[in-house]
Amino acid sequence: MDKTHRTESSLKELRAQITHLEQRIAALEALQEVTRSFSSKLELKRVLELILSSAIDVMQASAGSLLLHDPATKELVFQVVQGGGGKALRNKRIRSDEGIAGWVFTRRRPVIVHDARSDPRFLNRIDAASKFHTADMVAAPMIYKAKPIGVIEILNKQSGEQFNDDDEDLLMAFAAQSAIVIENARLYQQVITERDRLLAAEEQIRRELARELHDGPSQILAAIIMSLKFLKEVMRRQPERVPEELAELEQLSTRALLQVRNMLFDLRPVLLETHGLYAALQVYGERQFVADGLKIHLDIDALKTRLAPKTEAAVFAIIQEAIGNARKHADANHIWVSAKASSNALTISVRDDGRGFDLGQVEASYAQRGNLGLLTMKERTEICAGKLTIDSQPGKGTTVTLTLPIKPPPPPADLFG
Ligand SMILES: Nc1ncnc2c1ncn2[C@@H]1O[C@H](COP(=O)(O)OP(=O)(O)OP(=O)(O)O)[C@@H](O)[C@H]1O
Ligand SMILES: [Mg+2]
């Protein structure tokens, strides 16, 4: 080998190294871009698109797809597809052990496949659906905290060259970073969903409160003002009727106060949301006692364990209605609220020592009565997949019992929920 030849070959090697370094820099820049845009936009779908397009750019490839695992169905879902006839593939699902993507996912290892169509793992139906000819591919698993969450596949270099080990290394680095970005975006989306849910709940409560204020205290106050005017007349003309009128006024004012207090509590669903049934019922019980001296006895340690938010809201509303009914209709002195947990059920009961009623009779005429309490209790029981029984006999008090199945906690929400 003469000197010129040697210089030429080392120059070639150097150029190759420079290209290699440039590629890595470009990859890092692309990753940085993804992370930057992530913090400013934080929208999962967009983040995924950006991750994939950056990977395709960096590898100078023609197409690619990003698949995420759906733990509920054990499938890989084509979340983002770029290049080729990718649109047709979007949201398509394959089994998580199927195809080259499935191989990468289950083995948690990257792979390079030349002449992909002759590889036995290759899924011809995917190429057929996208009308794309996959020749060469490199794929890497996205792993977060030792758990595979998806796969990135990059197809066909634009130059027609084959993917090499450097490409595989690059894609692995890309996939690792992407997994973090995706998990962060998922967490962010969970927070946003939760926030929206709270906002919607608050809006609903505001609307109900406005209606209740209108139908309740504001009408009673109007009646009180009228009665006061009337009282002035009575004082002049029939002073002996004044005590009777005053007693009625006191009753009206007490009703308005009670209604306002109930609303005040409804204004603070935050307590139920943040501290759960146990705390909310403690406060509710104390408040009832202050309002009308009715003693509510709570034996609800079993409710210290938090339930799903929807269930907690439904259970609270059922207990509230049962207590409300005991107060309105039963002329009771005591109400006992108890909660007991067994291995597979939670039993909550509200019992009063009041006058009781004939449930059959009430139910038979329910449609004509225009009441809603018992009906909404039943509807809310369905929301939490529970069972509601009402035991009551005239003169014997009333017991409302709600039984809820206890399920293991649901898996964390994911993209596909
Ligand atoms: N604990 C109870 N003690 C005595 N009677 C009751 C009790 N709970 C319910 N009732 C009777 O059952 C009827 C139906 O109750 P429901 O809660 O559906 O309607 P409401 O309380 O009258 O009106 P709403 O709940 O719609 O404001 C009541 O009107 C009452 O006669
Ligand atoms: Mg009622």
Alpha-carbon distance of 151 to 176, in angstroms, equals: 10
Does residue 373's CB lie within 6 angstroms of at least one atom of ligand 1? yes
* 3-state SS, residue 301: helix
CATH at residue 406: 3.30.565.10
Domain-embedded: residue 82: yes
Domain-embedded: residue 73: yes
Domain closes at, from 190, 222, 256: 190
Q: Of all atoms in ligand 1, which is nearest to the CA of residue 352?
A: 1
Domain-embedded: residue 231: no
Rounded distance from Cα 263 to ligand 1 centre (Å): 20
Mutate which of 318, 327, 329, 391 for ligand 1? The one with the most ligand atoms within 8 Å of its CB, which is 329
Integer angstrom CA distances of residue 116 from 85, 133, 156, 174, 240: 17, 9, 10, 22, 103
Does residue 318's CB lie within 6 angstroms of at least one atom of ligand 1? no
Are 150 and 287 in a shared domain? no
Q: Whose CA is nearest to atom 28 of ligand 1?
A: 329
With 50 as the cut, is the pLDDT of residue 416 above it?
A: no
Domain closes at, from 141, 160, 190: 190
Does residue 326's CB lie within 6 angstroms of at least one atom of ligand 1? yes
Predicted confidence at residue 192, as pLDDT, reads: 76
pLDDT category at 417 given cuts 50, 70, 90 is very low
Domain-embedded: residue 374: yes
Are 306 and 168 in a shared domain? no
Cβ atoms of 402 and 393 within 8 Å: the answer is no
Does residue 371's CB lie within 6 angstroms of at least one atom of ligand 1? yes
Q: What is the mean pLDDT of residues 333-347?
A: 94
**Token output for 364:** 């038979």
**Token output for 167:** 């490409």
Predicted confidence at residue 350, as pLDDT, reads: 98
pLDDT category at 45 given cuts 50, 70, 90 is confident
With 70 as the cut, is the pLDDT of residue 408 above it?
A: no
pLDDT category at 96 given cuts 50, 70, 90 is very high
Instruction: Enumerate the β-bridge partners of residue 112.
Output: 138
Cβ atoms of 86 and 66 within 8 Å: the answer is no
Domain closes at, from 162, 190, 218: 190
Domain-embedded: residue 120: yes
Among the bound ligands, name the one nearest to the CA of residue 374.
Answer: 1
Q: Whose CA is nearest to atom 7 of ligand 1?
A: 325
The values of phi and psi at residue 297, to 5°, are -100, 125
Q: Whose CA is nearest to atom 23 of ligand 1?
A: 371
- Total count of domains within the chain: 2
Among the bound ligands, name the one nearest to the CA of residue 376.
Answer: 1
Q: Whose CA is nearest to atom 25 of ligand 1?
A: 373
With 50 as the cut, is the pLDDT of residue 40 above it?
A: no
Domain-embedded: residue 237: no
Rounded distance from Cα 373 to ligand 2 centre (Å): 4
Domain-embedded: residue 51: yes
Does residue 330's CB lie within 6 angstroms of at least one atom of ligand 1? yes
- Global pTM reads 0.47
pLDDT > 70: percent of the chain:
88
**Token output for 90:** 């979007």
Are 172 and 292 in a shared domain? no
Predicted confidence at residue 343, as pLDDT, reads: 87
With 80 as the cut, is the pLDDT of residue 369 above it?
A: no
Are 172 and 36 in a shared domain? yes
Are 184 and 299 in a shared domain? no
**Domain housing 61:** 3-190
Predicted confidence at residue 63, as pLDDT, reads: 94
Buried b (16+ CB within 10 A) or exposed e, 79-102: bbbbbbebeebeebebebebbbbb
How many H helices and E strands in the chain?
A: 12, 11
Q: What is the mean pLDDT of residues 385-397?
A: 94
Predicted confidence at residue 3, as pLDDT, reads: 64
CATH at residue 156: 3.30.450.40
Count, residues in the chain: 417
Are 184 and 321 in a shared domain? no
Q: Give whichever of 19-23, 281-285, 328-332, 362-366 has the largest mean pLDDT.
A: 328-332
Q: What is the pLDDT of residues 189-242, one digit of tens each?
A: 777 777 787 777 778 777 877 888 888 899 999 999 999 999 999 999 999 999
Q: What is the pLDDT of residues 238-293, one digit of tens each?
A: 999 999 999 999 989 888 887 786 776 666 567 888 889 999 999 888 777 666 67
Does residue 317's CB lie within 6 angstroms of at least one atom of ligand 1? no
pLDDT averaged over every residue in the chain: 85
Predicted confidence at residue 346, as pLDDT, reads: 96
Mutate which of 325, 352, 388, 390 for ligand 1? The one with the most ligand atoms within 8 Å of its CB, which is 325
With 90 as the cut, is the pLDDT of residue 351 above it?
A: yes
Does residue 362's CB lie within 6 angstroms of at least one atom of ligand 1? yes
